[in-house]
């Protein structure tokens, strides 16, 4: 199908795999906005973060019209999709819909968010969508929110080097939306100790109890209030306040003198 100026090109991906109901819902929602091309992992890649496969070749399989799967990570899907599958740069990249939240510290592990990070690195406006709740998931509200926010991004754009991390409360209605900052979401008792039939000790990471973030303008707080959380995430991880503090307080000259002294001692002993 030819692309017209009135029809944006949208790349759809996820970390849960090509057969996840969440990506089907997101693809179906995006067809109301533009032409969609789906490139997703063959299988579940949850919590792989920004992993890139470099120790083996990757294989693309076509699953239908504008639908492809890859035996790799979400980041692989974005890299291969942009470099080898799409003839033109997409107007928008969307990732999800993840069944479960990506809040606070969780985004460091999230393959859903990492796919949007990779799209942003290529200069493509990118959005990650997650649905808070428990299975069975009802994606109807998330689909409506995705359409609304995709249209807003296509119309108004995003700040440079910035993606959106969207978390949507469970249910068929929400109390509203809020622009939020990333909160904290650490877990207590998240490492389970188990034993196999031969008595050997093993450890299973997952579960546990999230420790409450008491901030009132965070993604965690917004979800607690039944609001859609819209968090702008910046690619620049530099702590600029810390940068200025270290420049003011650290005596690098004295450290360099110590390094030169150590180097001199090594040369005399060699």
Binding-site annotation, residues for a divalent metal cation: 15-16, 46, 98
Side-chain-side CA neighbours of 112 within 13 Å: the count stands at 26
Structure tokens at 93: 């990249």
List, edge to edge, every strand of the sheet that includes 92-99. 60-64, 67-70, 35-41, 9-13, 92-99, 126-131, 162-168, 228-234, 177-179
Structure tokens at 28: 């179906």
Q: What is the DSSP secondary-structure string of 56-97? A: S---EEEEETTEEEESS-HHHHHHHIIIII-SS--SEEEEEE
Numbered residues of the known binding site: 15-16, 46, 98
Nearest to 15 by CA among 86, 103, 116: 116
Nearest to 146 by CA among 262, 32, 8, 4: 32
Nearest to 67 by CA among 14, 18, 34, 8: 18
Nearest to 24 by CA among 61, 63, 58, 59: 63
Structure tokens at 243: 């940068």
Under a CB-based contact definition with an 8 Å cutoff, are residues 36 and 10 in contact? Answer: yes
The residue ranges of DSSP E strands in 221-267, in sequence order, are 228-234
């Amino acid at each position: 199908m030819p692309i017209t100026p009135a029809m944006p090109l949208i790349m759809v991906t996820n970390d849960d795999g090509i057969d996840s109901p969440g990506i089907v819902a997101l693809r179906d929602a995006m067809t109301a906005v533009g032409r969609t091309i789906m490139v997703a992992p063959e299988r579940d890649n949850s919590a792989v973060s920004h992993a890139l496969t470099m120790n083996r070749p990757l294989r693309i399989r076509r699953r239908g019209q504008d639908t492809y799967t890859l035996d790799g990570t979400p980041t692989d899907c974005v890299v291969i999709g942009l470099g080898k599958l799409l003839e033109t740069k997409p107007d928008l990249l969307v990732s999800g819909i993840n069944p479960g939240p990506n809040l606070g510290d969780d985004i460091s592990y999230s393959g859903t968010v990492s796919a949007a990070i990779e799209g942003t690195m290529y200069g493509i406006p990118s959005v990650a969508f997650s649905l808070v709740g428990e299975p069975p998931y009802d994606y109807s509200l998330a689909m409506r929110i995705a359409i609304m926010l995709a249209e807003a991004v296509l119309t108004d754009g995003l700040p440079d080097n910035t993606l959106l991390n969207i978390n949507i409360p469970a249910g068929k209605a929400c109390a509203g939306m809020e622009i939020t900052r990333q909160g904290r979401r650490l877990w207590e008792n998240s490492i389970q100790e188990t034993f196999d039939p031969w008595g050997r000790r093993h450890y299973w990471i997952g579960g546990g109890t999230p420790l409450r973030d008491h901030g009132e303008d965070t993604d965690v707080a917004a979800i607690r209030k039944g609001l859609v959380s819209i968090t702008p995430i910046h690619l620049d991880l530099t702590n600029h306040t810390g940068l200025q503090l270290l420049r003011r307080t650290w005596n690098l000259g004295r450290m360099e003198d110590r390094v030169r002294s150590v180097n001199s001692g090594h040369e005399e002993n060699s």
